[in-house]
Amino acid sequence: MVDRANKPSAIAPSPGLPQPQVDLSEDNSKVTATLPTGESVEVLLHGATVISWKSGGVENLWLSTKAVLDGSKPVRGGIPVVFPVFGGPPKDHATSSLPSHGFARNSRWEYLGKSTSESGALSKGGDDSVKLDFGLYTASLSEDVKKLWPYDFGLVYSVTLGRGGLQTMINVRNEGKESFEFQTLLHSYFRVKDIGKVAIKGLTGVTYVDKVLDAKTTTESNPAIRINGETDRVYQSIPQDTTTITEGDEPRFDIVRDNLEDTTIWNPWKEKAAGMGDFEPKDGYTKLICVEVGSVNGWQKLEGGETFEGGQIIRSLL
């Protein structure tokens, strides 16, 4: 592991104060953490997928009512983890035989444990945050998947719940001697009240690839991006760290990237949502916006023993 600035550090909780509560479900499929102040997060071991994050009694993430949570397919909603390829894999690449978005979101991860902290990006000076760690390793994969991507790797995904927000960080380590290339992305589905009143700010002047318009490359000129149809854009090499979602001109979420340079904005809109069997309700596209931080413009390369870490801090601004 490498040490990185501002990474939440585990320390002994202060005695006598209310502590975060962490529970593993009876069927060993889900970890739930709750702070004494009421904030909560739920993470499926399938895909290490965050499926709920509540603050102030409000659910911040969109989850399809028909999302499949039994491990048979990726989860529609929440925050799926994309690795080692984003979207459909390119031809003549080491990932070319993998499914779209890779295997991490459709693999069972190991729950590595919890730690509490009164330091770090989300803490406010007390025992008011809890970090949950999840692991996925080469040995965890089926033989079929290993054949499709035959590299030795280790992933540790850390989900930190704080009074100030939610932090999700992915640590990728090359455990073998042969180098490999990868992409990674956190496919966050944010819940909104009305997509017609939503704007995304902080991307002015950034180059993006518009997948709806045959991968046309464009420079963003709008200070407030509005969603009025199917949207699938990959914003590349963003200079500023923070992207803001507003609703009715009021700030709703700040998404702060950490060592990830790209962001995808996605909304399926009516026609595409209608064609997804696990997308319900069918008008759910009016209640969500995906703002997905990642490293997907080109490839990250790790030599044997090297490590990469990146992620996001999300702040609910209600």
Distance of alpha carbon 184 from alpha carbon 37, whole angstroms? 32
- CA 2 – CA 20 distance, rounded (Å): 27
Could you identify the residue written with the tokens 């997804």?
276
Q: Can you tell me the distance from the alpha carbon of 13 to that of 310, in angstroms, rounded to the nearest whole number?
A: 26
Q: What is the DSSP letter of 204?
A: T
Mapping DSSP to helix (H, G, I), strand (E, B) and coil, where does residue 12 land? Answer: coil
Q: How far is CA 38 from the centre of its chain?
A: 22
Q: Which residue type, as a one-letter code, is found at position 158?
A: S
Tokens in use for 56? 């102030």
CB 315 within 8 A of CB 253: yes
Residues annotated as catalytic (active site), given as ranges: 187, 292
